[in-house]
């Protein structure tokens, strides 16, 4: 009788131990799943494209000297197609991905009114434009547009990126790239890109 009771106790203990281990494994699995979900970056749906063009240079073509540090260093003319319904404002970011120090920002222009379809050449480097748009601080440390000014060598690419947003950024003048991109995230309805190039044979 005593042996039978002992066998029953051993059996019950083994059953309890299996249940305990099963529960622990389930808990670990759920915990890992939750952690993976938390760490997984949010992916945005591809935004419909805007057609961004310039009368000064063709897509992939050289940017005229007038719009660089070797010329008048004025902003080039730009125009774009109609954005989707619900657009409240535009943001324009111009960057050089080939700069020796890494990505280099040449222009930050934000809170352009939704009715805007073009920008004339030579915009002032003021905090705000007449239409209410605001300008951020580029990587030269100044406000507004500063043109291509690469070191002598192979041509650099200059990406003009336009974002149609469902809201204003609300940023004050002088914002830097990180703040502008944070304000844009999650509010992009459409995007457009125009890339030009510039090469300097020698520093002037």
Q: Among 61, 52, 54, 108, which Cα is nearest to 77's?
A: 54
40 is written with which tokens?
A: 């997984």
What DSSP element (H or E) covers 24? helix 2-39
Task: Look at 33-42, 64-73, 87-96 and tell me which has the smallest mean pLDDT.
Answer: 33-42
Give burial (CB, 10 Å; 0-12/13-18/19+) of 8: exposed
pLDDT at 108: 98
pLDDT at 81 exceeding the cut of 90:
yes
| Gap between the Cα atoms of 157 and 150, Å rounded | 10
Domain of residue 36, residue span? 1-40
Q: Identify whether residues 36 and 131 lie together within a single domain.
A: no
At residue 47 the predicted structure's pLDDT band, cuts being 50, 70 and 90, is low
Please check whether residue 99 lies inside any domain of the structure.
yes
Q: Identify whether residues 10 and 75 lie together within a single domain.
A: no
Q: Identify whether residues 33 and 57 lie together within a single domain.
A: no
Give burial (CB, 10 Å; 0-12/13-18/19+) of 148: buried
Contact 63, 57 (CB under 8 A): yes
pLDDT at 188 exceeding the cut of 80:
yes
Q: Is the pTM of this model over 0.85?
A: no
- Report the share of the chain in percent with pLDDT over 90: 74
pLDDT tens string 1-40? 555 555 545 454 454 445 444 443 334 333 333 333 332 3
The arithmetic mean of pLDDT across residues 120-134, rounded, is 97
| Gap between the Cα atoms of 195 and 52, Å rounded | 10
Q: Identify whether residues 5 and 69 lie together within a single domain.
A: no
pLDDT at 203 exceeding the cut of 80:
no
Q: Identify whether residues 31 and 95 lie together within a single domain.
A: no
């Amino acid at each position: 009788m005593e042996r039978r009771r002992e066998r029953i106790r051993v059996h019950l203990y083994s059953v309890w131990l299996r249940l305990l281990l099963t529960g622990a494994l389930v808990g670990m699995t759920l915990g890992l799943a939750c952690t993976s979900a938390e760490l997984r970056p949010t992916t945005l749906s591809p935004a419909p494209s805007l057609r961004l063009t310039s009368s000064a240079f063709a897509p992939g073509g050289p940017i005229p000297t007038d719009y660089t540090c070797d010329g008048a260093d004025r902003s080039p003319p730009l125009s774009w197609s109609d954005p989707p319904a619900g657009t409240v404002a535009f943001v324009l970011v111009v960057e050089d991905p080939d700069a020796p120090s890494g990505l280099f920002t040449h222009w930050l222009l934000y809170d352009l009114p939704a009715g805007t379809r073009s920008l004339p050449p030579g915009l002032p480097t003021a905090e705000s434009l007449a239409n209410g748009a605001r300008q951020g601080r580029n990587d030269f440390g100044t406000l507004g547009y500063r043109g291509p000014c690469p070191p002598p060598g192979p041509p650099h690419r200059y990406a003009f990126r336009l974002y149609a947003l469902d809201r204003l950024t609300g940023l004050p003048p002088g914002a830097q790239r990180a703040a502008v991109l944070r304000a844009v995230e999650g509010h992009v309805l459409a995007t457009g890109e125009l890339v030009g190039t510039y090469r300097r044979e020698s520093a002037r």
